[in-house]
Structure formats: structure tokens, C-alpha cells
Amino acid sequence: MAFEPFIHFVRGLQGKLNIGGLGGVQGHSFQQVAFLRQIQRDLQQEDTLSIPLEALKVVVFDIETTGFFPDQGDEIISLGAVKVQGDKILENDVFYSLVQYEKGLSSEVEELTGLSPGILKTAPPLAEVLIQFFEFSKGYPLVAHHANHEKSFMQHASWKLFRTPFKHRIVDTSFLYRIVDPNLAFTKLEEFCDYYQIPLINRHHALGDALLTANLWTLYSKKIQQLGCHSLRDIYDHLARF
């Protein structure tokens, strides 16, 4: 779908997808911390490394930010995610939210994301969005394209807002294509999409990029199983031999 209709689509989703069982942030800090700690306990107990890739359920996500350095004041301004089971993208099981941001955006960020300071001022605060996202993702592994960006922002936000470490497993798409296509010199998501003829729809929109990454993940999941890697443990063992 084109960019503007897509924006209207995800705005409609917000009212449906962002209603967390924990309510707003203020007045619920104890419940939120307890919820996060329960997720952490679940993450420690679950052995996702051994689940066959054909049955593994993951949450593919993406964030849009004001820059690249959370420790220097850059912030998350939107978050999008979609669940994937095996090689099936669950397109009706998605999460999307803008994030409250009251400062000005650079012209580059506005042009790239299509977001504006006006629409972000009325969005929910990051703490609320993260709680709802964690509720959406539960204990599933997270997947992101070149995940260092997402990981650094999620770690920074989790500690700053909740004083708790970010313990979700994040699987980088590079873990797969370094095995399947070790000679490819691509880094950008659009380069991979172009190479594999994945339609480049709604690039630089958090949910749009999550869906593009989900397509890339399912494609590589099939290819890597053909090479004999049938679980995340197999993938990590293979990478360790590089």
C-alpha cells in the first residue's frame, strides 16, 4: 500500500493494538516492574535455542529514532512489530505505536520517516509503549535487521525507565545471511529487498520495516534449513566456527 494510506491504516491500528492490560504508566509502577521481572524469569526458563526453526515463533520489530546514539540524547519515536511462526508471517498479529517526543525533529528525520513534531507530542510516552510491546512480545525471541541499533536503544530505555536490564534475546538477520550468502556485501534493508525482489513498501516506517524484515527472515529461515541449520543453536554453533 502507498505511504499515506499506510499511515491511516496504522493510525487505526493504534487504538486496537496499544491497549495494554496494565493501563497507563503513572500509578502502575509496581505492577509494571513485577510484569517485567516475570518476563525476565520466563526468558531465563525458556530454551528457545532448541526449538526447530520451522516451528519457532519470533517477533520481528523495528524502531524509528531521532538519531543513532541513545546515550547522547537520541530517542525512540516509533516502534513496530509483527509475529512470525516458522516461515509464516502473521500479518494480523502486529504492534505499532508512535512515541511521545516534545522536541523538534531534524529535517532529515521528518523527511525520512514522514513523522512530525505535532503528531508525536500527543503520542503515548515511551514507558507505556514499551510495556505494551513487552506484553505483545512476551518471551518470544526478537528479530531485527542489523540489530545493534535496536538493541542499544532498548537497553538504554529499559534501564533508564525501569531500572531493569533488557534481557530479551535479539536475533540479527545478519546471523542468517552470513551463513546463507557470505559473499554478499549488502548492509541496508533495501539492498536485500531489492536483491530478493521483496517489494519495498513503506520503508523507514517502523511497522513497514518490520514487515520487510519479516519477509527477509522467512526467506533466510528456509534457506538456512536447507543448509542443515534447524534451530537457533545450530545457527550459533555454525557462526562460532567462522
pLDDT digits (tens, 9 = 90+) for 92-144: 999 999 999 999 999 999 999 999 999 999 999 999 999 999 999 988 999 99
pLDDT digits (tens, 9 = 90+) for 219-236: 999 999 999 999 999 999
pLDDT at 194 over 70: yes
Cα separation, 95 vs 130, in Å, equals 11
Does 196 or 15 have the greater pLDDT score? Answer: 196
Whether the CB-CB separation of 125 and 100 falls below 8 Å is answered with yes
Strands 57-65 and 142-144: parallel
Neighbours of 207 (CB within 10 A): 25
Cell 533508564: give the residue.
160
Confidence of residue 36 (pLDDT cuts 50, 70, 90): low
pLDDT at 37 over 70: no
Confidence of residue 4 (pLDDT cuts 50, 70, 90): very low
Q: b or e along 114-150 (b: 16 or more beta carbons within 10 Å of the residue's beta carbon)?
A: bbeeeebeebbebbbbbbbbbebbebbbbbbbebeeb
- pLDDT attached to residue 33: 62
Q: Which amino acid is at 144?
A: A
Q: What is the share, in percent, of the chain residues with pLDDT greater than 90?
A: 74
Angle among Cα 137, 220, 98 to the nearest 5 degrees reads 35
pLDDT at 25 over 70: no
